[in-house]
Structure 1
Amino acid sequence: MSQDALIWQKYTGQISDPNIPLLPNYSYAGYMRGEVGIPNTFAYPTFDVTNATYGAVPDDGLSDQVAIQAAINAAEANGGGVVFFPPGEYLVNTDPNSTNTITINSSNIVLKGSGSVPGGTIINMVNYMRLPSGVSDANNPAMFTFSQTNTSSATRTGVGDANAGDMYVTVTAGGTTPFLTAKYCRINTLASTAATNDFLEGRTTKGTWSDINAGVILDETHEIDYIDAANNRIYLKDPVIDTFKSSYGWRVSTNNLIENCGFEDIHFKANFYDVFVHHKDYIHNYGWKGVDLKNVAHSWVRRCKFSNVSKATTITGRSYASSILNILVDGNTGHALSSVGFKSSRILQGLIWDNTSNGQFHGADMSGGVAGSVIWRVDARKGYGLDLHASMPRTNLIDLYTQMDLDNAGGNFTDLPNHLKGLTMWNVERVGTSSKSQNFWNLCGSNYCGLTVVNPIVVGYHGTASTTFSNVKYQESIGAKVFPESLYEAQLGHRIGAAPSWIVEAINDWNTLKTDWYFMPPTNGTYTENFENMTLIDWGTETYTGNSGYLWTINAKGVSGYIDASKGIYFHNSVTGVQSGTVAGGIGNFSVQCRDLFSQGNDRVIQLLINGNVVDSFTHNGTEVYTYTVENINIEGNINIAIRNASDVGANNTLAIDNISWTTYDGTLTADQVPTAIDEIKLYPNPVKQTLTLSGNLKNSSLLVIYDLSGKHIKGITISHLKNDSMNLDVSYLKSGFYIIEIKYLDMASALLKFVKI
């Protein structure tokens, strides 16, 4: 049970205790400093990539890259626009010998797909990005790059101290003139040995840490509120993050950023299938990178799925007040999850799920001088977890992060420590099974000494095994979560008077997307289950919601690579490895892909059980992947499906399975009677606000039923008064979310279509 955190009580003024430090205010992170949500509608015109002017054609197997860039260029020439991708798959980077990033260099450009869930928009990066000559592999370009190309600036000397929490900075007399027309500014220092002790809080460095030994580099970006020329003051919309003393030799510069740019509702599919080897080559490192945002403000990547990537997305280049939200990274394990770097400020990475086969090697990262930023509500339980890739980040928050272990932070040893002062870890959960002792300032004999952080605050750290900490500034409730659950949400609500509505909306989107990313409506009455929504990565038992919305219980080992590159399971003889919850619609035919593991030459016996009864048994001997099929089972009503390894118990007769499928059965419908109407019925627009149009193979007197994703019946109507084989359906009364339309001919399910109500 959560308990009230004393350090939170001090922050809110409920108690005053000199032995408890004051928490930094992290609440300004994210789009528009967290005060409002990212908009769902835009005033810009739409540039459809499939318009004949641009020429993209989804699902034709040909490159769409030139068309996509042309639509972006048109939107930029217009001064802004939504570059829209209708449903389907678009190919980019198809020539392995000539690779070019798709660029966006202007404000007010949003790349918007039709959803990152099945049936939405897929952008398929066919080949990896070639490393340009003279470029380090860490800077290998992403497939999509948003970047301000005009980075020239005017610089003025700061006066006196700029204290943490101040809402203005003072420059030398007459120095405010360049800022009268600027929107953003930087407060920064060059390498300052005068600042070193303050930001190391007295900690002793190693001789090999050459960067920090040369002096601390400080850099933070702010949005200008107004100019007080009479007093040489630049007023800011968010407070100074850390104190800049006059002895540091700090200065203020203009900062040119592009604004209001987004990448959203897209499934970005790359093709990295090698077994990942850390720093093997530039391909393994960052050859398959999705989206980079550089020199941006109030911009975002949201509601996207990234598959088989070396890294999903980044925000870098002195960016400001931007967000990475509602992100799934899955498929083959790669190098990194997401990151914020190169002196960016007030960036939010939140609601991120690492569901790759073995977890990304590095988790969500803040590095490279990042300040005032937050990692929030991340599920990375398969990998080592959070990353602090060194190069002097400071004053950042890690909030509600689930990880396997607290280790594997990166950064070259010359760039260490991993984080300067000001790091808070709040309600972090570790799912590793062994007890651990974490020394945050372990100056070991080698170049790398684990996670080296200057005096962090650790509150509510908990998990499946005990963890003890040393060299911390403050620790509280180690082993149990605290209240408030999220420090970011609590500080934001405390600052503006109440938690903003976008927080609830984003979490609701998150809960819906976690199901919908793997929800695959049945095609012609055929359901599938491929274990992609399973989180099990070792031996154990797990119950989860599968592809088609049904519960599955696994008693096996979660693996990948035995049947295909995606997830699967294997289990021993005499074990029922997988069992469904209640499945509606009965069962006609069934199939599953299998492979016999380990004790080669021994028979494997696989049994299919329906409602606890064995309906078929099959024997196989070999090493290849094979498909076990049972036809004409023909059981009506609600059922349960289970698969049992019934092999002999005297040897290691292990069985791997993946890609289950089955057809429904209602007592009259056979496989050759299933109508093909699903391919002929279309619905649009999707997403929809008020009126949904259906067209195609519709027939009067057919039944149309709307369900939500839980299977709840919302509305049923009889189709009538068709005009040109189409009809309009009012859906304005529905709440925002995902819905399924079922169309029946003579009580036989013939079409299941999915739509999004906004």
Structure 2
Amino acid sequence: MKFIYPINLITILLISFSVINQAVAQKEAKVWKAYKKDVKKGKKSVLIDYSHAGYAFGNEGIPEVSKLSYKYFDITHYGAKANDTIADDDAIHAAIRAAENAKGGVVFIPKGRYIVSKGVNFKGFEINHSNIVIKGEGAWAGGTEIFMQDYMRHDKTIFKWIGPHMFTFRPKGLDYDAFCSTTTSSRPYKIKSKVVKFAAEGSYEIEVDDASKFKNQPYIILVMPYNTESITDFLGNVPTRPQWERLNNKGITANEIHKIKRIKGNTIVFEHPLLTDVKPDYNWYVAPHQVISECGFEDIHVIGNFQEPFVHHKNKIHDSGWKGVNMAHIANGWVRRCVFTNVNSAVRITGSISCSVIMNIIDGNQGHGSVEMTFGTRNFTGLWLDKTNLGQWHGIDASHMAAGNVAWRISAPQGRGFDLHSGYTRATLYDCYEAYNMSGNGGNYKVEPHHLKGFTLWNFKQTGPAVKNYNYWSLKPKSEAPKSLYWGFAIAQPVVVGFHGSKTTFVASSIGYKESLGKKVYPESLFEAQLTYRLGERPTWLDDALNNWEIWKQQVLQ
């Protein structure tokens, strides 16, 4: 079944008229003008190039499954029956295994409600092969529903909030928790090669001591072990809070995942540029990064059964009882056109590269989280609507060594704000984000700050009460909690442009670059502008997505 929404003439005219009006009504941002000049001259700019985020690194849209000639594996052919009281876990497992045995395909879930997780279920569903799409017949009323009747049990007693997802995509047998760890020294890499030559941010290549180890590897990961010498590079010349035990004692660690374009001698050439300077003195090394690719989850209404008023970290049920989709070590994966209802968390993208979560809604009872982008590089969440009764506790999250990730056109008017959950996050763009509060950040105070250098907040709209003298780098306790070691959001030298809505003011010294506070700027979307500038023309998938999003929302919300 096709889910394609063609752009009509009226919509094209409306989009064009809107773009013209924005250009006239809003001044072109100075920092954007400077960025274009800097790119032409090959200079480092205030703005990072965030345009390589998402499916196919932003160069093209996610393919429609109907055009892929994939074989369909209908779960009803394996025993599933819609709209009854019998659990359909076995049938869904069987259809997934059949698709894997065929080396790819569409696990098709026809319209109707299918019950899963009835009784004790520890593992959910696993997809371990490339080129597999879990697909329904639409997330609107009368479409495909997956009803998670009972919460997902798990035995992780230390961390309440890290529970299993109902659907997990990952390479077979991969212990992704072992590789997705901020304790980088414990990661079980069997192959490593040291970086032997300096490579600047924006460069497309690195030199290692033995590149022959990676000749059959499509993806690698660059890792910088903990060191205190790099603190100034990643934070700038700013003091740190005394309670930041990990950073103050061990320093900083970093990683970023890259797709290999070619290898010449001991030089590895990447498809896309480095997000930081790579200095051999910091003991950077390269290791293989295992992934599966071209995996999708789409057109499904995922319904949990979380009905209680949410209490943060109350217990395992509140933190992670009902969770939707997890994409671990995936390249070019996607979650699109889905609705998540009464769930504790919707989507997690971890250890992945160039994945997109786009055109999705979360509603029902407030839960713990929205979308997490962790340990990966250049992932993307866009066109996300939070319609839960109180807004999710945490908004869109980039954290835990994530780099180059983008949140684009997010609407959470009741939400606590965007989330940066600590763990050496860097090079993040939050673009055209609407939320009630400034932030809904998390993370233990011992592992802060929430973000290193490279964070840009572009045309953020705050819908809740204004805050006076918001401080992105406070070095003292909050006045309302003088004994607490949580001193507030900590972002190193953020770029804040076009902040509007509520009349929040900022401590100027806590911002690296600020412009047009109180009024939107042009371009409205930095991601769209950078992508168009890089490609030389506006990619068609952007306007297709914007148009289809409005049509799809109407169908779902009516």
- Confirm whether residue 218 of structure 1 aligns to residue 244 of structure 2: no
- Give the match for residue 532 of structure 2: 493
CA RMSD of aligned residues (A): 1.7
- Give the match for residue 345 of structure 2: 311
- Give the match for residue 109 of structure 1: 132
Q: Which stretches in structure 1 are left out of the alignment for 5+ residues?
A: 520-758
If each structure's strand is expressed as a fraction of its own residues, which one has the higher value? 1
CA distance in 1, matches of 2:94, 2:38: 58
Given candidates 446, 460, 483, the residue that maps to 1:428 is 460
Aligned-partner SS, 2:337: strand
Give the deviation of 1:189 after TM superposition. Answer: 1.1
CA distance in 2, matches of 1:351, 1:300: 13
String of CA shifts for 1:408-465, please: whole Å, max 9, x gaps.
Answer: 3111111100100000000000011334321110022331112110000000000033
Give the deviation of 1:160 after TM superposition. Answer: 1.7
Deviating more after overlay: 510-519 vs 495-504? 510-519
Task: In structure 2, give the amino acid aligned to 1:255.
Answer: H
String of CA shifts for 1:572-618, please: whole Å, max 9, x gaps.
Answer: xxxxxxxxxxxxxxxxxxxxxxxxxxxxxxxxxxxxxxxxxxxxxxx
Instruction: Give 4+ residue runs of structure 1 displaced > 4 Å after superposition.
Output: 14-17, 150-153
- Confirm whether residue 404 of structure 1 aligns to residue 436 of structure 2: yes
CA distance in 1, matches of 2:147, 2:369: 19
CA distance in 1, matches of 2:498, 2:219: 36
CA distance in 1, matches of 2:126, 2:212: 33
- Give the match for residue 743 of structure 1: none
CA distance in 2, matches of 1:373, 1:440: 20
CA distance in 2, matches of 1:224, 1:130: 39
- Give the match for residue 184 of structure 1: 219
| Superposition TM-score, scaled by structure 1 size | 0.66
Answer whether contact 1:29 1:321 (CA < 8 A) is retained. Answer: yes
Given candidates 451, 455, 468, the residue that maps to 2:493 is 455
Task: In structure 1, give the amino acid aligned to 2:323.
Answer: K
- Confirm whether residue 246 of structure 1 aligns to residue 280 of structure 2: yes
- Confirm whether residue 478 of structure 1 aligns to residue 517 of structure 2: yes
- Give the match for residue 242 of structure 2: 207
Does the C-alpha gap of structure 1 residues 16 and 69 become closer, same or farther in structure 2, counting only changes over 3 Å?
closer
CA distance in 2, matches of 1:148, 1:433: 45
Given candidates 164, 168, 180, the residue that maps to 2:205 is 168
CA distance in 2, matches of 1:330, 1:133: 27
- Give the match for residue 438 of structure 1: 470
Does the C-alpha gap of structure 1 residues 487 and 153 become closer, same or farther in structure 2, counting only changes over 3 Å?
farther
- Confirm whether residue 193 of structure 1 aligns to residue 228 of structure 2: yes
Does the C-alpha gap of structure 1 residues 16 and 103 become closer, same or farther in structure 2, counting only changes over 3 Å?
closer
Alignment of 1:311-710 (within 5 A): 311-316=345-350, 318-341=351-374, 343-445=375-477, 446-470=484-508, 471-519=510-558
Task: In structure 1, give the amino acid aligned to 2:338.
Answer: C
CA distance in 1, matches of 2:38, 2:45: 14
Q: Which stretches in structure 2 are left out of the alignment for 5+ residues?
A: 1-24, 175-188, 478-483
Does the C-alpha gap of structure 1 residues 344 and 133 become closer, same or farther in structure 2, counting only changes over 3 Å?
closer
Task: In structure 2, give the amino acid aligned to 1:10.
Answer: A
CA distance in 1, matches of 2:439, 2:30: 27
Give the deviation of 1:133 after TM superposition. Answer: 4.9
CA distance in 2, matches of 1:6, 1:252: 38
| Superposition TM-score, scaled by structure 2 size | 0.89
Answer whether contact 2:170 2:329 (CA < 8 A) is retained. Answer: yes
CA distance in 1, matches of 2:140, 2:445: 40
Task: In structure 1, give the amino acid aligned to 2:361.
Answer: L
Does the C-alpha gap of structure 1 residues 208 and 14 become closer, same or farther in structure 2, counting only changes over 3 Å?
closer
Aligned-partner SS, 2:230: helix
Answer whether contact 2:434 2:460 (CA < 8 A) is retained. Answer: yes
Task: In structure 2, give the amino acid aligned to 1:107.
Answer: S
- Give the match for residue 142 of structure 1: 165
Does the C-alpha gap of structure 1 residues 355 and 303 become closer, same or farther in structure 2, counting only changes over 3 Å?
same
Task: In structure 2, give the amino acid aligned to 1:115.
Answer: G
Does the C-alpha gap of structure 1 residues 501 and 469 become closer, same or farther in structure 2, counting only changes over 3 Å?
farther
- Give the match for residue 179 of structure 2: none
Aligned-partner SS, 2:469: strand
Task: In structure 2, give the amino acid aligned to 1:297.
Answer: A
Q: Percent of aligned pairs with the same residue?
A: 40
Answer whether contact 2:325 2:346 (CA < 8 A) is retained. Answer: yes
If each structure's helix is expressed as a fraction of its own residues, which one has the higher value? 2
Answer whether contact 2:304 2:322 (CA < 8 A) is retained. Answer: yes
CA distance in 2, matches of 1:207, 1:480: 36
Give the deviation of 1:285 after TM superposition. Answer: 0.7
Given candidates 41, 48, 51, the residue that maps to 2:74 is 48
Answer whether contact 1:153 1:255 (CA < 8 A) is retained. Answer: no
Aligned-partner SS, 1:283: helix
Aligned-partner SS, 2:226: coil
CA distance in 1, matches of 2:54, 2:466: 35
Does the C-alpha gap of structure 1 residues 16 and 59 become closer, same or farther in structure 2, counting only changes over 3 Å?
closer
Task: In structure 2, give the amino acid aligned to 1:351.
Answer: L
- Confirm whether residue 268 of structure 1 aligns to residue 292 of structure 2: no
String of CA shifts for 1:524-574, please: whole Å, max 9, x gaps.
Answer: xxxxxxxxxxxxxxxxxxxxxxxxxxxxxxxxxxxxxxxxxxxxxxxxxxx
Tell me the number of residue pairs that the alignment of Structure 1 and Structure 2 aligns.
508
Give the deviation of 1:137 after TM superposition. Answer: 2.3
Give the deviation of 1:150 after TM superposition. Answer: 5.2
Does the C-alpha gap of structure 1 residues 68 and 284 become closer, same or farther in structure 2, counting only changes over 3 Å?
same
CA distance in 1, matches of 2:40, 2:152: 55
Answer whether contact 1:93 1:100 (CA < 8 A) is retained. Answer: no
- Confirm whether residue 70 of structure 1 aligns to residue 86 of structure 2: no
Answer whether contact 1:431 1:465 (CA < 8 A) is retained. Answer: no
Does the C-alpha gap of structure 1 residues 16 and 500 become closer, same or farther in structure 2, counting only changes over 3 Å?
closer
- Give the match for residue 621 of structure 1: none
Answer whether contact 2:161 2:313 (CA < 8 A) is retained. Answer: no
Answer whether contact 2:38 2:45 (CA < 8 A) is retained. Answer: no
CA distance in 1, matches of 2:507, 2:543: 33
Give the deviation of 1:469 after TM superposition. Answer: 4.0
